[in-house]
Amino acid sequence: MFGRLLPFEGRFFDLFNALAGEAVQASRELVSLMESFDDLERRAFAIETIEKRGDKITQETIETLHRTFVTPLDRDDIHQLVTRMDDILDLIEDCAQSINLYDVRTATPEMKRLAEICVGCAENVEAGVGGLSNLKDPRAIMAACAEIDKLESEADRVMRTAIAQLFREEPDAKQIIKLRSIYEILEQITDRCEDVANIIEGIVLENA
């Protein structure tokens, strides 16, 4: 009876992995959207569907956290980790919806590159999160986090160059507003991935 009241819940790691996997899938769908603008509404809906699955995983994780007395990681780390991963999915959906709502007809090379960087960040988030369940290879986890930091810095450079080019070469003010917004959302996705990397690094340093 007492054991049921004070459970140790190992399912957290399964939930982390599931959420990270959804982020990878959503980021890949975003790249596919930018490669082909043949059916924006359908593609945006596909990303929305993935985001909603992520919401359910996040909710389940938080509910599990509330009913679990002994957790495998610090409670605040768990909450921050799933919240930031959920933010990644929210921003990916926001980007897809913005492209659709703004009636953007083609992706610039910079949009495509930023989307590719988002995939790289999400894949490294998945790799980093995947190592948390046993922490047998902390170097590999830290390497994934370092790669996220590197990619986020590249995203900063790409975004700055893209926005500067917009103001130099784009005569349509509406187009400048649209593309700048999309560039900024894409860069924010990498920021949230970097947030996740920072949380993972803290967990490794505290527990390895």
| Predicted pLDDT of residue 4 | 39
pLDDT tens, the chain, 208 aa long: 333 344 455 689 999 999 999 999 999 999 999 988 888 888 999 999 999 999 999 999 999 999 888 899 999 999 999 999 999 999 999 999 999 999 898 899 999 999 999 999 999 999 999 999 888 889 999 999 999 999 999 999 999 999 999 999 999 999 999 999 999 999 999 999 999 999 999 999 998 6
Query: How many domains does the chain fold into?
Result: 1
Which of 113, 19, 190, 58 minimizes the C-alpha distance to 198? 190
pLDDT on residue 36:
84
The parent domain of residue 16 ranges over 2-207
pTM: 0.93
Q: What CATH number does residue 12 fall under?
A: 1.20.58.220
133-172: pLDDT as tens digits? 888 889 999 999 999 999 999 999 999 999 999 999 999 9
pLDDT at site 69: 86
Q: What is the pLDDT of residue 8?
A: 53
Q: Distance between CA 27 and CA 14 in Å, rounded?
A: 20
